[in-house]
């Protein structure tokens, strides 16, 4: 990322150079700081696109720690996190996975949507999240003691998931947790204005639209329009698209595949955006 970083820093690529902009909603910065000071693992709960990832980036920058992010998915295996043997001309060679790298050299490891990962992957983090702060690497026979700067942060969206996608109590209870929601209207409009350059009146219209779609969450939609979607719409407007067309493209059409729901959303866009 930075050419002048000393090559000796194995985490140079994961350091955050410029401050990621983040508008605090409550006292989450102090809460993150307290958990960090005591080395406690942190879970961020909240709907998609409400700023969880941006918050972690901001905090990593603020604390001066590298950030290693892993997007969890249902095929994420233990090897993907810990590492695996690779073959080269001389035989086998151990390659650290992202988690091992964070544990070894001291970084914030951010597991995005932890609940998506397979259960056998989830239990890997157990010894890291209690007083032991260890990561046993069965494949190499190594017992890795976490670097003092290692921190674990996971995100979790309780809103949408399949029937058997919930965190086990044994995993859940290892974390301290912060609940994220969509910011209240004025604040969300301010975020939107900052990120996309919209004027206030237009930003408030988009926020109104988002609030109304969120009422449909659970019934017709999995989730309502996120702050991220609003920013996308705002960027399209800033690029010169007509506001309604931008909202159709960034909000109404992506939100659902059901033609009737999309028709209703398009009509809602027309009502909210003048």
Partner 1 sequence: MPASPESAFPGGRALAIYLDGLWSVQPRLAALDSADDRPRAILSRAGTRPVLHLPQAGALLDRARAAHAAAHLVHGGTPQPRAKLKPVQRALFETLEDARVEWLAMQALPGLRTLWAPFHTADAGWGMGVDALLARLAHALFDPAHEDGHAWIAKVRRMFFAPDGTIVLATPDALREAASRLGNDIGQMRLRLNPAGWRVEPEYRDDNHHLWVTEDTLPPSATPLEREDADSHGRGDDDAQTMERPPPRATGGADQGEGAAAALWSEAPLRTLKYPEWDRLIARLRPDWCTVIESRPLEADATALRAQLRVQRAPERRRPVGRPGAGREREGESLHTDALIDAGIALRTHTRPPARLYRAARGADGGRDVLLLVDASTSTARRGADGRPLLDHLREAALRAAQALERDGHRTRVWAFASDTRHRVRVQHLKDEHDGALDLRVCARAAGLRSHGSTRIGAALRHAAAHTTGERPLIVLLTDGEPHDIDVHDPRYLLEDLKQAVREARRAGAVTHCMHVGPAAAPGLRSAFDAGHCLAVSDPRRITELLLSGLRH
**Would you tell me which residues interact with partner 1 (CB under 8 A)?**
74, 77-79, 84-85, 87, 89, 91-92, 139, 158-165, 205, 208, 212-213, 215-216, 218-220, 244, 258, 260-261, 263-265, 267-274
Number of Cβ within 10 Å of residue 194's Cβ equals 14
- Return the structure tokens found at 37: 């000071």
- DSSP H stretches of helix in the chain: 28-37, 52-63, 78-82, 98-105, 119-122, 169-172, 185-196, 200-214, 227-238, 243-247, 253-255, 259-272
The CB-of-155 to partner 1 minimum distance in angstroms stands at 16
The CB-of-144 to partner 1 minimum distance in angstroms stands at 18
The CB-of-170 to partner 1 minimum distance in angstroms stands at 14
The CB-of-205 to partner 1 minimum distance in angstroms stands at 7
Residue 77 or residue 134: which is nearer to partner 1 going by CB?
A: 77
Eight-state DSSP code of residue 146:
P
Residue 208 or residue 249: which is nearer to partner 1 going by CB?
A: 208
Residue 235 or residue 262: which is nearer to partner 1 going by CB?
A: 262
Q: What angle do CA 202, 204, 209 make, to 5 degrees?
A: 100
The CB-of-264 to partner 1 minimum distance in angstroms stands at 4
121 close to 81: Cβ distance less than 8 angstroms? yes
The CB-of-34 to partner 1 minimum distance in angstroms stands at 28
263 close to 271: Cβ distance less than 8 angstroms? no
The CB-of-274 to partner 1 minimum distance in angstroms stands at 4
Residue 35 or residue 236: which is nearer to partner 1 going by CB?
A: 236
154 close to 148: Cβ distance less than 8 angstroms? no
Q: How far is it, in rounded angstroms, from Cα 211 to Cα 144?
A: 47
271 three-class SS: helix
137 close to 144: Cβ distance less than 8 angstroms? yes
Residue 2 or residue 215: which is nearer to partner 1 going by CB?
A: 215
Residue 19 or residue 75: which is nearer to partner 1 going by CB?
A: 75
Nearest CA among 155, 244, 165 for reference residue 202: 244
Residue 23 or residue 185: which is nearer to partner 1 going by CB?
A: 185
Q: How far is it, in rounded angstroms, from Cα 272 to Cα 76?
A: 41
Eight-state DSSP code of residue 20:
P
């Amino acid at each position: 990322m930075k050419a002048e970083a000393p090559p000796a820093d194995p985490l140079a690529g994961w350091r955050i150079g410029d401050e990621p902009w983040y508008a605090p909603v409550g006292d989450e910065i102090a809460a993150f700081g307290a958990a960090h000071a005591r080395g406690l693992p942190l879970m961020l709960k909240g709907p998609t696109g409400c700023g969880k990832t941006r918050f972690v980036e901001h905090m990593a920058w603020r604390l001066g720690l590298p950030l290693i992010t892993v997007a969890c998915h249902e095929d994420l295996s233990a090897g993907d996190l810990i590492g695996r043997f690779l073959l080269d001309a001389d035989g086998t060679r151990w390659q650290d996975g992202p988690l091992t790298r964070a544990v070894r050299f001291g970084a914030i490891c951010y597991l995005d949507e932890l609940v998506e990962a397979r259960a056998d992957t989830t239990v890997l983090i157990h010894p890291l999240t209690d007083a032991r702060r260890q990561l046993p690497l069965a494949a190499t026979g190594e017992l890795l003691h976490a670097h003092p700067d290692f921190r674990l942060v996971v995100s979790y969206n309780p809103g949408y998931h399949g029937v058997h996608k919930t965190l086990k109590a044994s995993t859940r209870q290892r974390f301290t947790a912060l609940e994220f929601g969509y910011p209240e209207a004025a604040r969300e409009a301010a975020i939107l204005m900052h990120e996309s350059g919209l004027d206030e009146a237009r930003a408030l219209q988009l926020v109104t639209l988002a609030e109304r779609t969120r009422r449909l969450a659970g019934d017709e939609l999995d989730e309502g329009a996120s702050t991220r979607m609003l920013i996308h719409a705002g960027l399209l407007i800033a690029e010169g698209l007509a506001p309604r067309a931008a909202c159709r493209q960034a909000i109404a059409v992506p939100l659902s595949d059901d033609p009737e729901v999309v028709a209703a959303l398009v009509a809602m866009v027309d009502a909210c955006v003048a």
